[in-house]
Amino acid sequence: MGGVAWAELGALMLRHLYLAGVPLLVGLAVSLPLGWLASRVRWLGPPLIAGTGLMYTIPSLALFILLPLVLGTQILDDANVLVAMTIYAVALLTRTVADGFTSVPGHVRQAATAMGYGELRRVVAVDLPLAVPVVAAGLRVAAVSNVSMVSVAALIGVSQLGSLFTDGFNRNAMGPIVVGVMASVVLALLLDATIALLARLLTPWLRRGVPA
Amino acid sequence: MIRFDSVTKTYDDGTTAVDELSLEIPGGRITVLVGPSGCGKTTSLRMINRMVEPTSGRILIDGEDVSDRPAAQLRRSIGYVIQQAGLFPHRTVLSNVMTVPRLLGWDRARARAAATEAIEKAGLTAQQAGRYPSQLSGGQQQRVGVARALASGPQIVLMDEPYSAVDPIVRAELQDELRRLQGELGITVVLVTHDIDEALSLGDMVAVMRYGGHLAQFATPAELLARPADDFVASFVGKDRGYRALGFADVAVSPRPERTVRLGEAVPAGSGWVLAVDDAGRPLGWADARSWGGPLTESRVRRFGTIARLGESARLLLDAALSSPSRRGVVVDEHGAVVGTVLADDVLDALDARST
Amino acid sequence: MNALALTWEWLTDPASWTGAGGILAQSVAHLRYSFLALLAAALVAVPVGLWVGHTGRGRWLAVNAAGAVRAVPSLGVLFIAVLLLLPRLRGELAFELPALIVLVLLAVPPVLAGTYAGVQATDPAARDAARGMGMTGTQVLRLVEIPGAMPLIMSGLRAAMLQIIGTATIAAIVGLGGLGRFLIDGQASRDYGQMAGGAVVVALLALAVDIALAAVQRLVVSPGLTTAGPGR
């Protein structure tokens, strides 16, 4: 297809999914406590959100190149891309997680506390489930932008779907580029749909018209 | 005067919001349109400044058909106050109030002077004029809404549920001020509400509307309470309308003389309830001297519910009597000094005497 | 010599800064492309966004365009544009124009979405009051909706600018000037110092531009929209 073997395309897609997807999970794990802190500790909120947000201003290519300086890795190392994408995920998600926790109605939180929930237990059992819709919306944005951004790593020689772009460009061949773009978009949409589905499964109380 | 001449409004989906409404709203008065939701009261109001165009019929202001004037020009000459105040969040209070004068093409200095005056009239301070709406309370925002409607000195002010979003205490305050402003300026106010109490206490004339955009009755509050046109009006006006009607009943009751006592004066034991007053003769409260006697101290004086002024309605006189621990209602003159007291029976007797 | 030292050496070498291909000249070029692209995008997206927000027509497009563009890899689009347009263009423009077109295309959706959302977010009561006081449609837009939309218009512009600066960096691969040159050329000549030094400069440039736009945002957004809570 477009001068690209199916097996090669499949392998590149898996690599792409790995480089974009793992940082998403790690980013979420980091953002949950950060965002919770930002929503609960008044003076910490603005600097935390602004600080993580600033990371987002760094252009991806620059970050891929700079990380070896910080991490002591080789420029071709996957770790650079994984860490860079994690940073972007955290930059996007900290704010949404904070918004998600803020969106939990105060009266619900107070009712839970009044019934004897401890702070941590209440966050896990009450706040977190109610924050799922907002967090999931942010996660979908992060997933889609991660998938499209990872392709830039082809410029520093880390292989994934973006390699089809550089390969096609160097050979003056449109086919691989178009295939790569389409595969990347499909991957982004699949990841987006998966998160949307998961969020739906996690929030059965939001479904309308469910027969009793 | 605003005249509705067989005005009908049918929306695109086929619902008739207002049906053949004919009404003469007197100039220089407060007229209230009241009714349950869906009765077309807001639609009727919004047709006056052409925010809604009638399907048929005419609306005349002082004999001139509103549809003869360009809508924007017409609206600039009519004040408009809505429930959520609708202030512009990006402008200061002063700048909000300057809106219509500026739209009318007044220069900045003149617009500013007019706005400053309107802000003061609406009960806001010069300091608040420099604030942004988000820095004000709901009641203050509503005052800005009123100031904004008055700034260019319109003869007519339309108000759509202006007080339904503020708490009852603030609401009563704002209602009093509207009465005062209307009296001072002599403007025509048309106000929409779903609250019959607000309608009866504010309106010189009240138009009760029913579902489907029909006018059920157009009358003064006293008339509405005394002679509701039909069962709908009677039930809408409420169960206690007999008692409420007393609010509009002037009765000739002469207060009985009441012995008053000042703080420090000796009260003989067994005097019953005695009325304590200050040096100017203004009531302080009642002291229970049924089984106690001696010099009157402040701690002996109990505050009481309500005080009626001379010449006030039967409702207030009766309330003063019923809320007094001695069952004698305190009546004061225009300076607030005690004139005497009335018994509930005195008020009822006077009412009986009036109706025979 | 380790990577950090190489980078430091390149950054502190005066020769890196001056001259036709120096840091200063490339920074200016980078800024020029970026602001040009942002201006072009804003000229298209702001009026369309205002129109969509004011009339409510074409809402679907405004909402989904930003999401759709996010899913498209900019590097791929850049290459496609160059392969398509290069044979049809001549002279100096041949290298710059395809890249500039892509920069503008990618910047339009966020500005459009921000502008639309800003106008949409106008308090319906304020809009009703504005009409009721006798404002014409254009006056409502100019005096009420646009000032109220300013915070979201500015966030749209800032998001678009970050996208532009990043994409302009990678556009060095197709021959565009600017700071991306150091990253691409440094890699081609295995000069890690130049590569990382260029990355530091471009990161700082992006940060500086975002801070500058944040300052502009403070200037053009009414304090009434940012101060919250009834003060005494």
For residue B353, the model assigns a pLDDT of: 80
Where would I find the beta strands (DSSP E) of B194-327?
A: 205-210, 214-219, 260-262, 266-267, 272-277, 283-289, 294-295, 301-302, 308-309
For residue A40, the model assigns a pLDDT of: 86
Give B139→chain C minimum CA distance, Å.
11
Stronger pLDDT, C199 or C70, i.e. the higher one: C199
Q: Which ranges of B238-341 would DSSP assign to H, the alpha helix?
A: 241-245, 314-322
Q: Measure Cα distances from B152 to A188, B51, B117, B118 in Å.
A: 57, 19, 10, 9
- Fold (topology level) of C3-225: MetI-like fold (1.10.3720)
Tell me whether residues C195 and A62 touch, CB distance under 8 A. Answer: no
State the Cα–Cα distance between residues C116 and A113, nearest whole angstrom. Answer: 40
Average pLDDT over residues B266-295: 86
Is the pLDDT confidence value at B311 over 90? no
For residue B205, the model assigns a pLDDT of: 96
DSSP-derived letter for residue C141 is I
Mean pLDDT, all residues of chain C? 89
Tokens of A100: 């998600």
Tokens of B70: 């360009």
A30-44, B246-260, C39-53, C163-177: which has the highest mean pLDDT?
C39-53
Complex prediction ipTM? 0.88
Specify whether the CB–CB gap between A79 and A69 falls below 8 A.
no
Tell me whether residues B91 and C228 touch, CB distance under 8 A. Answer: no
**3-state class of B342 per DSSP?**
strand
Average pLDDT over residues B305-314: 82
For residue C230, the model assigns a pLDDT of: 41
Tell me whether residues C224 and B92 touch, CB distance under 8 A. Answer: yes
Judged by a CB distance cut-off of 8 A, whether residue C79 touches chain A is yes
DSSP-derived letter for residue B254 is P
Note the pLDDT tens digit of each residue in C195-222: 999 999 999 999 999 999 999 999 999 9
Four-CA torsion C9, C10, C11, C17, nearest 10 degrees: 140
- The helices-and-strands tally (H runs, E runs) of chain C is 11, 0
pLDDT band at C227, cuts 50/70/90?
low
Tokens of A194: 């998966």
Tell me whether residues A161 and C73 touch, CB distance under 8 A. Answer: yes
Tell me whether residues A148 and C72 touch, CB distance under 8 A. Answer: yes
Which chains would you list as touching A if contact means 3+ CB atom pairs under 8 Å?
A: C
Task: Write the residue in C125, C227, C228 that is nearest to B86 by C-beta.
Answer: C125
Domains of chain C, by residue range, sit at 3-225
C contact residues 192-221, partner B, Cβ 8 Å cutoff: 221
Q: Give percent of chain B with pLDDT exceeding 70.
A: 99
Q: Which ranges of chain A would DSSP assign to H, the alpha helix?
A: 6-40, 45-55, 60-71, 78-102, 106-114, 119-122, 128-150, 162-170, 174-202
The backbone torsions φ and ψ at residue A58, rounded to the nearest 5 degrees and listed phi first, read: -70, 125
Residue of C nearest to B69 (CA): C134
Interchain contact A/B (3 or more Cβ pairs less than 8 Å):
no
Residues paired with B210 in a beta bridge? B214
State the Cα–Cα distance between residues C146 and C139, nearest whole angstrom. Answer: 10
The vertex-B27 CA angle with B95 and B219, nearest 5°, equals: 120
Specify whether the CB–CB gap between A161 and C79 falls below 8 A.
no
For residue B212, the model assigns a pLDDT of: 86
Tokens of B235: 């039930």
CA atoms within 13 A on the CB side of B103: 30
For residue A211, the model assigns a pLDDT of: 54
For residue C229, the model assigns a pLDDT of: 44
Nearest to C133 by CA among B340, B113, B124, B73: B73
State the Cα–Cα distance between residues C116 and C122, nearest whole angstrom. Answer: 10
Average pLDDT over residues C155-161: 93
Four-CA torsion B137, B143, B147, B150, nearest 10 degrees: 150
- List chain C residues with CB under 8 Å of B99: 133, 143
State the Cα–Cα distance between residues B129 and B116, nearest whole angstrom. Answer: 8
Look at B192-201, B232-241, C131-140 and tell me which has the smallest mean pLDDT.
Answer: B232-241
The backbone torsions φ and ψ at residue B7, rounded to the nearest 5 degrees and listed phi first, read: -85, 130
The vertex-A197 CA angle with A191 and A198, nearest 5°, equals: 90
Stronger pLDDT, B340 or A3, i.e. the higher one: B340
State the Cα–Cα distance between residues A122 and A106, nearest whole angstrom. Answer: 13
Note the pLDDT tens digit of each residue in A30-47: 999 999 999 888 888 888
For residue A209, the model assigns a pLDDT of: 58
**3-state class of B207 per DSSP?**
strand
Task: Write the residue in C71, C169, C174 that is nearest to A148 by C-beta.
Answer: C71
Write out the DSSP string of B75-123: HHTEEEEETTTT--TTS-HHHHHTHHHHHTT--HHHHHHHHHHHHHHTT
Tokens of A167: 């390969």
Interchain contact C/A (3 or more Cβ pairs less than 8 Å):
yes
State the Cα–Cα distance between residues C114 and C153, nearest whole angstrom. Answer: 5
Dihedral sign for Cα atoms in the order C178, C193, C166, A159:
positive
Kindly give the interhelix angle for C146-170 and C180-188, rounded to the nearest 10 degrees: 20
Chain CA centroid to CA B140, Å: 17
Q: Give percent of chain C with pLDDT exceeding 90.
A: 62
Tokens of C80: 């496609």
Q: Which amino acid is residue A150, in one-letter code? A: V
| CA end-to-end span of chain A | 49
For the beta carbon of residue B279, count every other beta carbon within 10 angstroms. 7
State the Cα–Cα distance between residues B99 and C130, nearest whole angstrom. Answer: 9
Note the pLDDT tens digit of each residue in B129-158: 999 999 999 899 999 999 999 999 999 999
- List chain C residues with CB under 8 Å of A168: 79
**3-state class of B193 per DSSP?**
strand
Residue of C nearest to B148 (CA): C133
For each of the domains in chain A, give its residue range(s) and CATH number, in order of start.
6-207 (1.10.3720.10)
Note the pLDDT tens digit of each residue in C84-117: 988 888 777 777 888 999 999 999 999 999 999 9
Instruction: Report helix, strand and coil shares of chain A as percent, to nearest 5.
Output: 80, 0, 20
Four-CA torsion B268, B273, B278, B284, nearest 10 degrees: 150
Q: Measure Cα distances from B28 to B183, B188, B189 in Å.
A: 8, 4, 7
DSSP-derived letter for residue C143 is I
Four-CA torsion A156, A158, A160, A165, nearest 10 degrees: 30
The backbone torsions φ and ψ at residue B137, rounded to the nearest 5 degrees and listed phi first, read: -75, 170
The backbone torsions φ and ψ at residue C123, rounded to the nearest 5 degrees and listed phi first, read: -55, 120
Is the pLDDT confidence value at C231 over 80? no
Dihedral sign for Cα atoms in the order C200, C205, C208, C209:
negative
Mutation target to probe the B interface, by most B beta carbons within 10 A, among C127, C128, C131, C133 is C133
Region for residue B187 given its phi and psi (left: phi exceeds 0; alpha: psi -120 to 50; beta: otherwise):
beta
For residue A1, the model assigns a pLDDT of: 66
Note the pLDDT tens digit of each residue in B276-285: 888 888 888 8
State the Cα–Cα distance between residues B98 and B130, nearest whole angstrom. Answer: 12
For the beta carbon of residue C204, count every other beta carbon within 10 angstroms. 15
Residue of B nearest to C136 (CA): B72
| CA end-to-end span of chain B | 37
The backbone torsions φ and ψ at residue C53, rounded to the nearest 5 degrees and listed phi first, read: -65, -40
What is the reported pTM?
0.82
pLDDT band at B356, cuts 50/70/90?
low
Q: Which amino acid is residue A53, in one-letter code? A: G
Tell me whether residues B76 and C134 touch, CB distance under 8 A. Answer: yes
C contact residues 142-201, partner B, Cβ 8 Å cutoff: 143-144, 147-148, 150
For residue A212, the model assigns a pLDDT of: 46
Mean pLDDT, all residues of chain B? 90
Tokens of B154: 């319109």
Which chains would you list as touching C if contact means 3+ CB atom pairs under 8 Å?
A: A, B
Is the pLDDT confidence value at C79 over 70? yes
- List chain B residues with CB under 8 Å of C147: 88, 90-91
* Rounded average pLDDT per 10-residue block, chain A, 212 residues: 83 95 96 91 86 89 91 90 95 92 88 86 89 92 93 93 94 94 95 94 77 50
**3-state class of B338 per DSSP?**
strand
Tokens of B136: 């004000």
